[in-house]
Structure 1
């Protein structure tokens, strides 16, 4: 039996806080749980709810003055990408594109996982962090 109940959160440091905040809240439609400005760090911390039901899953979006860039994409050591589970891949892609009022989203071609048969697609956030949408519970 596993000690863990699931992934609670993933932390992301944004280069442009306002652009990333708009992307995650408006374009991806995540709900703000709490937004805090930390004066001593000149930093924002924005807690975002990824899913409305089930195990808590959050993104912590941070801002810091002059963060260093990611060394490479996606093979840099550390977090490789963020994967969001969806029920209907095409619907999720269409919903995101409809809310993409800044024309930031460019989806790669849809692929099929050779091991699970699940369909998935990649795109990037404003800081070029790879994000995957994976259709779960339905194979083709």
Structure 2
């Protein structure tokens, strides 16, 4: 048995590093742990903390493939963040010019509110009310 204790981090690749850095820090409010430029890869790695217990690794790479989302591809579908008020989250995201912020939806299995929106690279993200 592996005895997995949790999720350590989620890695996201961007070709719009500065815009993505601003999005994840200024709009979503994540804290910067460390920012490293890796000259050999011509790539940045930005470590971000969410509420002091979760971590996102944001990578910039000069060579990449676009995400195959429509129709959906197999693999990681989206990343969901817990919030206490989805409607307030939608209002904030829209006021910041975030792309494709959907209206409030209701999870038919749990009855909880949620919404989807895109990061600057078209990565689908979700707010889920708890």
TM-score (norm 1): 0.84
| Cα separation, 2, equivalents of 1:24 and 1:74 | 26
**What is the CA distance between 1:12 and its match in structure 2?**
0.3
Contact persistence 2:12–2:59 (CA under 8 A): yes
Q: Which runs of 5+ in 2 are unaligned?
A: none
RMSD between superposed Cα atoms in Å: 1.9
The count of corresponding residues between Structure 1 and Structure 2 is 130
Relative distance call for 1:115 and 1:81 in structure 2 (3 A) is same
Q: Give the secondary-structure state (helix, strand or coil) at the position aligned to 1:40.
A: helix
CA deviation map 1:44-77 (0-9, x unaligned): 000011123xxx2111000011311112246112
Partner of 1:37: 37
Q: Within 5 Å, which residues of 2 pair with 1:20-99?
A: 20-52=20-52, 56-73=53-70, 75-98=72-95
Deviates more, 1:68-77 or 1:120-129: 68-77
CA deviation map 1:70-100 (0-9, x unaligned): 12246112210010001121223333344x2
Q: Which runs of 5+ in 1 are unaligned?
A: none
Relative distance call for 1:5 and 1:25 in structure 2 (3 A) is same
The alignment status of 1:123 with 2:106, answered yes or no, reads no
Q: Within 5 Å, which residues of 2 pair with 1:5-16?
A: 5-16=5-16
Contact persistence 1:74–1:130 (CA under 8 A): no
User: Which ranges of 4 or more aligned residues in structure 1 deviate by more than 6 Å?
Assistant: none
